[in-house]
Amino acid sequence: MESAKDTKVIGRIQAAVANPSPLGLFGLAMVTLIASTNKLGITSGTAYIIPWALFLGAAAQLVAGILDYKVKNNFGATAFCGYGFFWLAVSMTWMIGNGMLSINPGVVTDISQLGFAFLGYFIFSIYMTIGAMGTNKALFTIFVLIDVLFLGLFISTLNPQLLFWKYLAGSAELGISFFSFYASAANVLNSHYGLSILPLGKPFGPWVEKSIQKIDLQEEYHLDKAS
């Protein structure tokens, strides 16, 4: 989700795939910017958020995720596709709420089910946050804010009277937008100029050093085998 260019070699065919992260991060930045204004009470309604959720939140991240699958980037692919599908589901939920998708008036609906969906994504985001430690600090910050967002959405959906959690979720979502814009710009500019124009911060955590050592050992093994 981080390298400027990834190369996949199959037999004698070499396919270069550009880094899809700037697109996915831009999509995330746009949709969270717009959606956060609703939670913070700056705007009203969700009807005009739906197109941005479908095309930027969902489509842009799904495209980035599929391209990450092509270069065997499991973390980036899982993150972008996972959150892309989330925005598809949210869009459909908003469509139902705005009467764009009709349901039988006699059908029983329970908003708590949406709250437990947020809980599921909170759990997903927790272990993705652990993975983000091995990418860069900017991405790790985004995932920490995503954790706060889903925790706030889970609690505020089950307990709508607890307004603090709704505003906490909105504030975290606005923070996600800011850092996603930054990370998207950094990926584009750093790759374009071949320089660290906007620093992203080095990977950190207890498993990073072990991972680097393992890669170094594998490279030494292949070099020895080749010679």
Closest CA to 81 of 62, 67, 68, 63: 62
In angstroms and rounded to an integer, the radius of gyration of the C-alpha atoms of the chain is 20
Closest CA to 179 of 134, 211, 140: 140
Report the distance separating Cα 219 and Cα 212, nearest Å: 11
- Give one word for 135, left, alpha or beta, with left for phi > 0 and alpha for psi -120 to 50: alpha
Question: Domain 5-101+108-202: which CATH class?
Answer: mainly alpha
Length of the chain equals 227
**CA geometry: angle at 222 spanning 221 and 224, to 5°?**
65
Helix (H, G, I), strand (E, B) or coil at 111: coil
- Say which amino acid occupies 97: G
Q: pLDDT tens across 16-66, in order?
A: 779 999 999 999 999 999 999 999 999 999 999 999 999 999 999 999 999
Confidence tier at 210 by pLDDT (50, 70, 90): confident
- DSSP conformational letter for 19: -
Report the distance separating Cα 24 and Cα 76, nearest Å: 10
Alpha-carbon torsion (20, 83, 55, 169), positive or negative: negative
Q: pLDDT tens across 75-117, in order?
A: 999 999 999 999 999 999 999 999 998 888 788 889 999 999 9
pLDDT of 10 higher than 50:
no
Longest dimension (CA), the chain: 74
pLDDT of 2 higher than 70:
no
